[in-house]
Structure formats: structure tokens, C-alpha cells
Amino acid sequence: MTKTRPKLLRFCVKPMHRICVATSNAGKLRDFAAAAGAVSVDVVALPNFKGIPEVVEDAPTFESNAQKKAEHYSRYAPGEYVLADDSGLEVDALHGAPGIYSARYASSPEHPNATDADNNAKLLGKLAIIPEERRQARFVCAVAVAKDGEILATFRGIAPGRILFEPRGTGGFGYDPLFFCPAFDKTFAELTPEEKGTVSHRGQAFRKMLQWFLDSDIR
């Protein structure tokens, strides 16, 4: 059966202001840059990000955490459009877990800095007896844009898939090696950045933000 692959959304626009992303995660920056490849957008890490006081991500939803971060970090970059995201994995068989706790799923007081490998191992353990037909999951991303401490807009992207029994692929980050994408018949870790950008939750949310930016009069 021939699979239909999503088409990359193309924009024909003049160059616009740069977007500063409030993250030190190289994987997230690659995802956003890949999604912006069709437009004249300069996607950069927020200057001096590591020197800015961190935000406690204690809000109950992806959207509210993204907004909290965007508002906070934009105060340290006057005049810049600052983007922050909160994203995670929701697994149906785990009642939506790990959800907003995805990045720290395997963390504990004794082991506060869980790695991607730790989180993946815990997820596989939780799903050990769950058959393939019940391993549906989705990646969710909320993106918020702020300027000078004011939230301008928030967007959501969702990528459906399922969790494999073992990792595949060497690209990506986080749960990508376990997340099977039906559109490409590959895991996210097996996709090129450009392929991932067409279907990922982060790419979807970012493209919605770009379209809003182009259609608005804030520039």
C-alpha cells in the first residue's frame, strides 16, 4: 500500500524579524530551524539563555508552561520576539502519561537529572506487557510567543503515532527512537530533520506561529 506523505507548507514572503528560542536544547533548535526552512526566518537561541534565571515549570498544561517561559524570558531580551515551548509524550495506555512530566519522567529525589535513556527505559518498562494494538501515543507541543513580557499568541501541534518495543534510529532526541510515525513508516529518530519537520508536533505548532506572524500586523 502506497503511503501518502505530508507536503511541506511553503511560504513566499519577504524576510522578517528573527525569532529567539528560549532553549539550550540543540534538538529543539534543529526542529524549529527545519520547520522554518521554507521562509526567510532567522531562528536563533535566546542570547545568554544559560545566564538567565530558570523558570519553574509547575503549570498544569503544556500551554500554560510555554506561556510562563515565554513571558519570563522575553523580559531579558528587549524588543525581541521570544518563543518558548513545552512539549511531551502522551501514551493512551498510561492514561496520558508521561505528559507534562516527559522530560523528567524517570527523575526522583535521589536521581533528579534523568537522561533520555532513563526516560525511555522507564517508558518501555511501563509498557512491557502492553500489546502493539494498545500502544497508541502522541507527541504534543505548545508554542508561546512573547515580546517585552507580554504574551502575543499560543499555538498547539499534535503528532500521532505509537510506541515500539525497542528503539530504532540514531537521530532526534528524547523519545524519538521509540516513537513510530505511520506517515513515514519510521521512528522520529530515523527521519531527517526536514522529514521530521513536516510531521512533528513542534513543526506543526511552529508553522501555525509563522502563519499567524505573517498574517498579523505586529511587525
Catalytic residues, which ones? 86
Name the CA radius of gyration of the chain, rounded.
Answer: 17
Strands 19-21 vs 43-45: parallel, antiparallel or unpaired: parallel
Cell 513566499: give the residue: 12
Backbone angles phi, psi at 30, to 5 degrees: -65, -40
- Cα–Cα dist 94/135, whole Å: 9
Residues 6 or more apart in contact with residue 13 via CB below 8 angstroms:
39, 40, 214
